[in-house]
Structure 1
Amino acid sequence: MTGGPLITPQRLGIALVCAVALVGCCGLAWWQWTRFESASGTFQNLGYVLQWPLFGLFPAFMVWRIRKLDAQRKAEPPVVAPAPVVTVDAVRAPVVDTDDELAVYNRYLAELNARDQR
């Protein structure tokens, strides 16, 4: 195993949160079971009896999943994407034109179209 000591304060805290979640959710499942057994109990309470333990196990599952994904990420070689190629058109000096504004604008649009065609 790599990566420092086996027991750290962070790992103890995560384990404590997972244990508290499991104990709390199992307590809620027991409470739902007593509600199911009572005279006013329904099958909805029975469904909650089955759901609460799964909710309690979810934090531990997430810790396991994050550790597994982290191990996969460390095992794979890093993917280096090639740098994008940037091309720049030469800058032209503006054409001074004595024609009317519409002709100048049309020439400008034709220039833009020619650039797009390249």
Structure 2
Amino acid sequence: MSKTHTQRRPALIALVIVSALGCLALGWWQWERFESVGGNGQNLGYAFQWPLFAVFVIYAYRKFVQLEDEADAPQDTENDSVAEQVVREVPADLLPQRPVAPVEDDLDDPEARQLLEYNSYLAELDRSRESDRSTK
């Protein structure tokens, strides 16, 4: 376990304890609301749900510590061949290609020519604006 992990560990443990106790307190509060005169089934549902959140916080912390320890542990030579076989990224041919819209450079069309001139004018303005910013 590295030094940074041990330095952060008490703060994480405190966060887990505070979060779990907070969830349990909210569960108790919902149970009290359920037992009151105006209580309903929704309060009962939340009374059972909040302790589950507390259990999840503890589970997530334990899983975090296990993954942290696995990352710090040295790899065996037997596991190296298995680690090489694990796919780390999505192959390029797995996903379908995005459709590409056909680009029409029909300069005979007056609207297309006007749009092309306007876009080039805007690009020129943008370039001149960027050069003005870099000098200030």
SS at match of 1:52: helix
TM score, norm. by length of structure 2:
0.48
Q: C-alpha separation between the residues in 1 aligned to 2:14 and 2:69?
A: 23
**Structure-1 residue corresponding to 2:7:** 9
**Structure-2 residue corresponding to 1:47:** 45
Gaps of 5+ in 1: 82-118
Which one-letter code corresponds to 1:43 in the other structure?
G
Alignment of 1:100-111 (within 5 A): none
Which one-letter code corresponds to 2:66 in the other structure?
K
| 1:55–1:68 distance in 2 versus 1, CA, 3 Å | same
SS at match of 1:44: helix
Alignment of 1:1-118 (within 5 A): 3-4=1-2, 8-71=6-69, 74=73, 76-77=79-80, 78-79=83-84
Contact kept in structure 2, 1:29 and 1:50, CA below 8 Å: yes
Q: C-alpha separation between the residues in 1 aligned to 2:44 and 2:13?
A: 29
Gaps of 5+ in 2: 88-136
Q: C-alpha separation between the residues in 1 aligned to 2:68 and 2:22?
A: 28
**Structure-2 residue corresponding to 1:104:** none
Percent of pairs identical after alignment? Answer: 35
Which has more helix, going by share of residues? Answer: 2
Q: C-alpha separation between the residues in 2 aligned to 1:70 and 1:19?
A: 19
| 1:40–1:54 distance in 2 versus 1, CA, 3 Å | same
Q: C-alpha separation between the residues in 2 aligned to 1:46 and 1:67?
A: 33
CA apart distance, 1:4: 4.5
What is the RMSD computed on CA atoms of the aligned residues? 2.6
Count of matched residue positions in the alignment of Structure 1 and Structure 2:
78
Which one-letter code corresponds to 1:79 in the other structure?
E
Q: C-alpha separation between the residues in 2 aligned to 1:63 and 1:23?
A: 14
